[in-house]
Structure 1
Amino acid sequence: MSLPPGYSVTGGTGNVCKLKKALYGLKQSPRAWFGRFTTAMKNFGYQQANTDHTLFIKHRAGKVTLLIIYVDDMIVTGDDTVEIEKLQKRLASEFEMKDLGSLKYFLGVEVTQSKHGLFLSQKKYVMDLLADIGMLDCKPADTPIVENHKLGVYVDQVPTNKERYQRLVGRFIYLSLTRPDIAYAVSVASQYMHSPNEDHMAAVMHILSYLKSAPGRGLLFKKNSHLNLEGYTDADYAGNITDRCSTSGYFTFDGGNLVTWRSKKQNVVSRSSAESEYRGIAQGVCEILWLRWLLAEIGFRPDAATKPYCDNQYTFEIANNPVQHDRTKHVEVDRHFIKEKLEHKLISIPFVSSSKQLADMLTHAVSKRRFEDSLDKLGITDIYAPT
């Protein structure tokens, strides 16, 4: 440790500094650490991505090297093996770090690499969760949430343990990083964190029973012959029985692999199914635009308009009609936003039948057959399941 500026060593080498406040644990420490790391990466010739400030990119001789960091855990990847070796040596000289080799485990996510592709799962996390709750021997469920559920806030509801409920839902939220199959169920359960009742707790227990049926389920990323970016958007009109807000959801695919998804209750009440669908499309388009910018920064700029598929005929006609009508004024902001992206040919909104709408499982509870069909199309599988 070096003395602060302005102090000089006197009386030999027995000088010490009295620590009045530790930096570690303060609110300023993450910012100070990340600022220090960012400065070092820029000195190494890397650029900080605008779409994700934790991502650092370096292009050299037609190749790319990527580093993404979370607190003090990082992943280094790319097709420039020479630059990757240089980066590891520079980081080791600048910071105290350890090279753990090929990516196998990152922030609770298990990574399995094979000739079939890259598989992400959280099997150990699921098994630890079931063991903590004491449900390792529970009866498995086929779907994460029952059909036609009537979850809501009622006057005569029987309250349940609030802290336990919040703790379980919080663990589900982290688990949904690799489990889009529970995204809708977790979205519903998280709406009642402030005042859960016994029905809400039963729904949480049902999610645990579903996890017991396939704890090793996760995402498989395959190497395909294209890098097309596309999405599926859907909305369930007035699905919430308490406040009649709609639920919207979207899936986005890059190169035929599922990369992002979301299931979220809309903030306002829609006056028509077309309005709720239009708000859902606007959220999906925002995600698609972010992915387009991210891919462009990495060096894979999409050369064609991205297609967010929609299964609402009326919404499809509004989006592809350049004329603004009186009946669309209540979604005027979203209408102009999507219209602008269509004119710039960043997106094109095709129609897809409801039977092929993958985002359906993000907006309401579906049947077992529909749910399993969607899992296959989304690339959600379980490599640990017995064949």
Structure 2
Amino acid sequence: EPQTYNQAIKHKHWQQAIQDELTAMEVNNTWTVQPLPLGKKPISCEWLFKLKLNSDGSVAKHKARLVARGFTQQYGLDFQETFSPVAKITILRVLLAVAASNHWHLAQLDVNNAFLNGTLAEEIYMQIPPGYSTSNTKTTTPLVCKLNRSIYGLKQASRSWFNKFSNTLISHGFTQSKYDYTLFTKGSKATFIAVLVYVDDIVLASPSSNMNNGAKTMLQRQFKLKDLGDLKFFLGLELLKSREGIYLCQRHYTLAILEDSGMLACKPSAVPMEANLKLHTESGTKLPNPGIYRRLIGRFLYLTISQPDICYAVHKLSQFVSNPHSDHMNAVNVLLRYLKNTAGQGILFKANFDTRLHAYVDANWGSCIDSRRSSTGFCIFLGNSLISWKAKRQKTVSHSSAEAEYRSLASVASELVWLKNLLTDFQVNTTHAAVYYDNKAAIHIASNPTFHERTKHLEIDLHFVREQVSRGMLKLFHVRKFHQLADVFTKALPRNVFLSILSKMGVDNIFLPS
């Protein structure tokens, strides 16, 4: 991939990509070439180049993108509001779980030059981009581009595009979700359709392919779209559909990490982190190049989208990104060896119709050596499909294991209430959510309005759990330690225990020989 415009114009594929981008700018009336008014200062722009890949790693497209250098904009002068919602990955997993259980049709669309569809309210001028000819404009005054559209790179570009897209859907009868603004739904039962948007990538889900096709036709009248067919490759996520359900993994992304790290030929590891490993901020010696460690942690974080099995290891290692040491890097290498062993591992959203919402939650009291804070871990299922999970260090120190467990319970309660509400948008109604816990003291605190010396300091928001229990939204059940699936999110486990939990969670690798 070229880094500059001058490098790109030496190759015909990139020359064509540049011309395609400029043509799209003209078709969308993105700018008007004119002399720069007195007192105005134009922002600069630059070209970015990226190879778009297919799910098998082959080159799909040479993509050139002209972007404004939005960091030179000034608040109140050439931009105001900038926030734009982006779909949470959890919502995508919920959509896949519901689609698998109901045998829905899934389709994918890509909006060409999406940001150019947004209109600008501000007066913004940009320098003439490299490669754009202004020979038809006769003037001795320096020329600039007066922007009519929200070109990529502007601080308000994403917001302008999303407002345009959401208004289009709403005007055609879609309802915007109150629980995530990137989800739009319409109809019921056989005529139901859901639209999920992640910037310019769109997912359609419906019991009927005709409903999906109707939505495509409507959107094609408004925007220039690329129909990518059935949903198979989305944001680097690979999806495989079968009679058993929908399988989600990131195999090619995993192999790319191993190749870039020089670990393709390494000795595989059976676990992502050694059991009972104790890491702290000063473990070992300082790394001469901490950038390598930080880049790997960033890539691991994205990999946790489809691999809950590495969630705890990545959570633990990410605590040291500001000042990584040799022992931390050794643990990263163990995780890389584990990825060599499990490339293609993911989760299966099962095709059996089951809408029970239930969760496993756990805490590891005082597990952080440096801060003595506890860690929270939970996993949530819709039927037998894993849809949400988390491993996180708690924000405050807990006085007892019961307090740490109760804080974890509050964390999963918030997620369950949100998911229950979100599922109503998919026409899935759940009366309550079951929570499985291995700490009787925390269950007692949540189920009874008791006052005790050891709990009087707990924040009021933690008693949100007690309120949900009294309403019947949550039902708490005690589970024995060896049945606690959330253990995998709070500590590094021995091989046998680790693999047993993964099999119960539905984590599998369809690429391994049976």
Same fold flag (TM > 0.5): yes
Pick from 475, 482, 489 the counterpart of residue 355 of structure 1: 482
**Correspondences of 1:66-85 after superposition (within 5 Å):** 66-85=194-213
SS of 1:120's equivalent?
Answer: strand
CA RMSD after TM alignment? 2.0
Q: Paired residue for 1:254?
A: 382
Q: Paired residue for 1:47?
A: 175
Q: Paired residue for 2:356?
A: 228
SS of 2:275's equivalent?
Answer: coil
Pick from 322, 327, 330 the counterpart of residue 454 of structure 2: 327
Pick from 32, 36, 61 the counterpart of residue 160 of structure 2: 32
**AA matched with 1:144:** P
CA contact (8 A) 1:250 1:261 kept: yes
For 2:296 and 2:504, the matched residues in 1 are separated by 29
CA contact (8 A) 1:248 1:264 kept: yes
Q: Paired residue for 1:310?
A: 437
**Correspondences of 1:134-153 after superposition (within 5 Å):** 134-153=262-281
Tell me the CA shift for residue 155 of structure 1: 8.3
Tell me the CA shift for residue 225 of structure 1: 3.7
CA contact (8 A) 2:243 2:351 kept: no
CA contact (8 A) 2:284 2:326 kept: no
Tell me the CA shift for residue 252 of structure 1: 0.3
CA contact (8 A) 1:319 1:335 kept: no
For 1:146 and 1:60, the matched residues in 2 are separated by 49
For 1:109 and 1:20, the matched residues in 2 are separated by 38
- Whether 2:497 is the aligned partner of 1:345: answer no
Per-residue Cα deviation, 1:32-74 (whole angstroms, up to 9, x for no partner): 1111111111111111111111111112466420111111111
For 1:156 and 1:123, the matched residues in 2 are separated by 32
Tell me the CA shift for residue 157 of structure 1: 3.5
Q: Paired residue for 2:131?
A: none
Q: 1:315 to 1:26 in 2, by over 3 A?
A: same
Tell me the CA shift for residue 81 of structure 1: 3.4
Q: 1:211 to 1:3 in 2, by over 3 A?
A: closer
The TM-score normalised by the length of structure 1 is 0.93
Tell me the CA shift for residue 339 of structure 1: 1.1
Q: Paired residue for 1:19?
A: 145
Bigger radius of gyration among the two: 2
For 1:331 and 1:106, the matched residues in 2 are separated by 42
SS of 2:154's equivalent?
Answer: coil
Number of residue pairs the alignment of both structures matches: 379
SS of 2:451's equivalent?
Answer: coil
For 1:155 and 1:376, the matched residues in 2 are separated by 33
For 1:371 and 1:176, the matched residues in 2 are separated by 16
**Correspondences of 1:1-387 after superposition (within 5 Å):** 18-20=144-146, 23-60=151-188, 63-154=191-282, 157-303=285-431, 305-387=432-514
SS of 1:24's equivalent?
Answer: coil
SS of 2:277's equivalent?
Answer: coil
Q: Percent identity?
A: 37
For 1:40 and 1:282, the matched residues in 2 are separated by 38
SS of 2:474's equivalent?
Answer: coil
Tell me the CA shift for residue 80 of structure 1: 3.9
CA contact (8 A) 1:361 1:371 kept: yes
CA contact (8 A) 1:160 1:196 kept: no
For 2:386 and 2:314, the matched residues in 1 are separated by 19
Gaps of 5+ in 2: 1-27, 35-135
CA contact (8 A) 1:49 1:55 kept: yes
CA contact (8 A) 2:284 2:325 kept: no
For 1:215 and 1:195, the matched residues in 2 are separated by 29
Query: After TM superposition, where is structure 1 displaced by more than 3 Å over at least 4 residues in a row?
Result: 1-5, 14-18, 60-63
Name the stretch that deviates more: 172-181 or 333-342.
Answer: 333-342
The TM-score normalised by the length of structure 2 is 0.71
Bigger strand share: 2
Q: Paired residue for 1:10?
A: none
For 2:413 and 2:192, the matched residues in 1 are separated by 27
Q: 1:3 to 1:280 in 2, by over 3 A?
A: closer
For 1:251 and 1:318, the matched residues in 2 are separated by 21
CA contact (8 A) 2:246 2:349 kept: yes
**AA matched with 1:275:** E
For 1:3 and 1:100, the matched residues in 2 are separated by 26
SS of 2:363's equivalent?
Answer: strand
CA contact (8 A) 1:328 1:335 kept: no
**AA matched with 1:149:** L
Tell me the CA shift for residue 79 of structure 1: 1.4
CA contact (8 A) 2:283 2:325 kept: no
Tell me the CA shift for residue 23 of structure 1: 2.6
SS of 1:100's equivalent?
Answer: strand
For 1:238 and 1:3, the matched residues in 2 are separated by 56
**AA matched with 2:472:** K
Per-residue Cα deviation, 1:151-189 (whole angstroms, up to 9, x for no partner): 111287333422111111000000100000000000011
Q: 1:155 to 1:75 in 2, by over 3 A?
A: closer
CA contact (8 A) 1:160 1:198 kept: no
Tell me the CA shift for residue 297 of structure 1: 2.0
Tell me the CA shift for residue 2 of structure 1: 5.6
**AA matched with 1:315:** A
Tell me the CA shift for residue 4 of structure 1: 9.4
CA contact (8 A) 1:279 1:334 kept: no
